[in-house]
Amino acid sequence: MSVKVRFAPSPTGKLHVGNVRTALVNWLFAKGQGGSFVLRIDDTDLARSTQEFEDGIETDLTWLGLVWDERYNQSKRFDRYEEAAARLKASGRLYACYETSEELDRRRKVQLSRGLPPIYDRAALELTEAEKAAYEAEGRRPHWRFKLEGKRVAWEDLARGHAEVDTASMSDPVLIREDGLFLYTLPSVVDDIDMDITHIIRGEDHVTNTGAQIEIFEALDAKVPGFAHMPLLVGADGAALSKRLGSLSISDMRDQGYEPIAITSHLGKIGTSDNLEIAASVEALG
């Protein structure tokens, strides 16, 4: 199977050099092997996503020469996420929880005061049908958590080498909020399966997610793709670059007169010991 990767920004802010470095590494990895590059707009959060940011992402990537072979919006794929959620519910891996955030907060404080890790205690798994019906009658709506196996999930990371996450040390992740909103975790796995993504290349802020997501790939009987987690770019103060940090946004750099090839050449060399040279084309960076 030929290589297929995706760049999956949320249209909730402008692209900055950190996001674009992830896009560039994905693009070079695919194009260097005759593979394809997918642009996936992660817009499940309809309240925070805007058309303006989505258009900005397309303008920036096109300007940088990072053209995509396929393009998807998560907001058009809710039926697929519903199907996957139904499967996970049927197999007992996705379970309804009725705690309010105040209740969860209180429990976490008690755990911490006893020197215990603040992990969700799975009390909802003990609820009877009558108790659930009583919550519903009170007007509560469930949020849905994925039941982790609680094991060492290991993979050979293409950037970090052997990697492991112990899912026993994590709370079961909430996949669906009480208002029905799908959080990022499940849609991403469903898309990676449906779009035949062979490698997931993203920032190392996703390492823990990967532990849970590998369990979700397995729970959906899918092949687990390869993973590479890249170190994040940080500012001079050592803090992660934020999407809301305007100064290093691609659109601002364009307005300041930077050439696209100067930006991609620089980002292509960050993290290597190679001398910085301005490449003749984005392809030449590979």
Residues near ligand GLU (CB under 6 A) are 8-10, 42, 184, 188, 202, 206
Closer Cβ to ligand GLU, 188 or 265, answer by number: 188
Tell me the closest approach of the beta carbon of residue 4 to ligand GLU, in angstroms.
Answer: 14
Helix axes 207-219, 185-194, angle to 10 degrees: 60
Closer Cβ to ligand GLU, 41 or 261, answer by number: 41
Report strand pairing: 143-146 vs 161-166. Answer: unpaired
**Distance set, CA 235 to CA 17, 30, 66, 232, 286 (Å):** 11, 28, 24, 10, 25
Tell me the closest approach of the beta carbon of residue 32 to ligand GLU, in angstroms.
Answer: 19
Instruction: Say which amino acid occupies 218.
Output: E
Closer Cβ to ligand GLU, 228 or 263, answer by number: 228
Tell me the closest approach of the beta carbon of residue 183 to ligand GLU, in angstroms.
Answer: 11
Tell me the closest approach of the beta carbon of residue 203 to ligand GLU, in angstroms.
Answer: 7
Closer Cβ to ligand GLU, 9 or 260, answer by number: 9
Report strand pairing: 4-7 vs 36-41. Answer: parallel
Tell me the closest approach of the beta carbon of residue 128 to ligand GLU, in angstroms.
Answer: 37
Closer Cβ to ligand GLU, 5 or 96, answer by number: 5
Tell me the closest approach of the beta carbon of residue 110 to ligand GLU, in angstroms.
Answer: 32
Closer Cβ to ligand GLU, 55 or 205, answer by number: 205
Closer Cβ to ligand GLU, 170 or 207, answer by number: 207
- The answer for residues whose C-beta is within 8 angstroms of residue 58's C-beta and 6 or more apart is 39
Tell me the closest approach of the beta carbon of residue 35 to ligand GLU, in angstroms.
Answer: 16
